[in-house]
A = this chain, B = another copy of it.
Amino acid sequence: MAPRQKILLLGATGETGASILNGLLASNQFDVEILVRPSSAEKPAVQELKTRGVALRVADITAPEEELVSALAGIDILISAIGPNDLLQQKTLVRAAKSAGVKRFVPCAFITVAPPKGVMLLRDEKEEIYNEIKRLEVPYTVIDVGFWHQISIPPLPSGRIDYALMMPEAVIHGDGNAPNLLTDLRDIGRFVARIVDDERTLNRYVYTWSDVLSENEIFELVEEGSGEKIERKYETAQQIEKRLEDALAALSLDPTDPAKRMQVYIVQYVHSKYVRGDNQPRYAKYLGYLDARELYPDLKPVSFRESFVEVLEGKGKRPYY
């Protein structure tokens, strides 16, 4: 029997990282360790992971390459779920992965399907890392997941599901007809556990999904499930474009302000998903992505409807809280 592959996960305490860790552990296919910064090693969230039997490696990813090479000793697969403000810090990690002979690097992707440059600043920074990977010929897999169910549910007039919503606002963008790839946050890890153990996905891009739904379809589904009628507000494509222009102008005045940057990220998601219509299977295939559902037809992801019913039943969980 081949030895189990050893995976090192960076960002395990974030939302995406936690899903990945759960998926990897549940698969029972890998030896999983997590990489944490010295400043985080004693945090309760990290300590709690230790109680689940996950070994820690402590290293500062801004450290010199040699130090990171040591931290990567014996690792087969390196998965990064680093936060959006630290993406470019992965550069040294790419070089270290090359030197350490890592067999597959999964850089922090895990967003919607979008083109390489010029549409989403968040995607542009990820692209810098993908380009560094390609320059060094590091074996890699890029995994994008569409948008999470958990942040795609509109609020109900009764307020009874607000407990589970991150930004409750019943807004339909553009005409509401743009289809979007959706994945339950909890399924990211289940998909990742399959994808990283698959030769077919080496040096490829893969997207995951359970549903492809427009906002109009989501609103109808939520009304049907809840029996409540949601009053629609609309933001037109022109209004979104204006909002994007304003956010970019504000950021250009103060390029290092993380709040202004985050505002750009948020508006660009809206613009990419609903005005450009990027986050859908046709465009993903055009861009060269493999479809994780075609690769793993036996994997039954949690549907948007199932996820919504859980929220209705009080079993939801607000992300980032």
Contacts and interface: CB of A to CB of B under 8 A. Distances in A.
Interface of A: 115-119, 131-132, 134-135, 137, 203-204, 283, 286-288
Contacts of A287: 134
A288 B130 CA distance: 13
A199 B273 CA distance: 28
Given A117-B131, A203-B288, 17 more contacts: A115-B131, A115-B134, A115-B135, A116-B131, A116-B134, A117-B135, A118-B131, A118-B132, A118-B135, A119-B135, A134-B286, A134-B287, A137-B283, A137-B286, A203-B286, A204-B288, A288-B288
19 contacts: A115-B131, A115-B134, A115-B135, A116-B131, A116-B134, A117-B131, A117-B135, A118-B131, A118-B132, A118-B135, A119-B135, A134-B286, A134-B287, A137-B283, A137-B286, A203-B286, A203-B288, A204-B288, A288-B288
A283 B288 CA distance: 18
Nearest to A117: B131
Contacts of A283: 137
Contacts of A132: 118
Contacts of A286: 134, 137, 203
Contacts of A115: 131, 134-135
A288 to B, nearest CB: 7
The 8 closest A-B pairs by CB, nearest first: A117-B131, A115-B135, A115-B134, A116-B131, A203-B286, A137-B286, A118-B135, A116-B134
Contacts of A203: 286, 288
Contacts of A117: 131, 135
A216 B193 CA distance: 45
Contacts of A137: 283, 286
Nearest to A205: B288
A115 B204 CA distance: 15
A44 B283 CA distance: 44
A190 B283 CA distance: 31
Contacts of A134: 115-116, 286-287
Nearest to A131: B117
Q: Most B CB atoms within 10 A — which of A134, A286, A287?
A: A134
Nearest to A130: B116
A132 B118 CA distance: 9
A284 to B, nearest CB: 11
A124 to B, nearest CB: 10
Contacts of A119: 135
Contacts of A204: 288
A203 B204 CA distance: 15
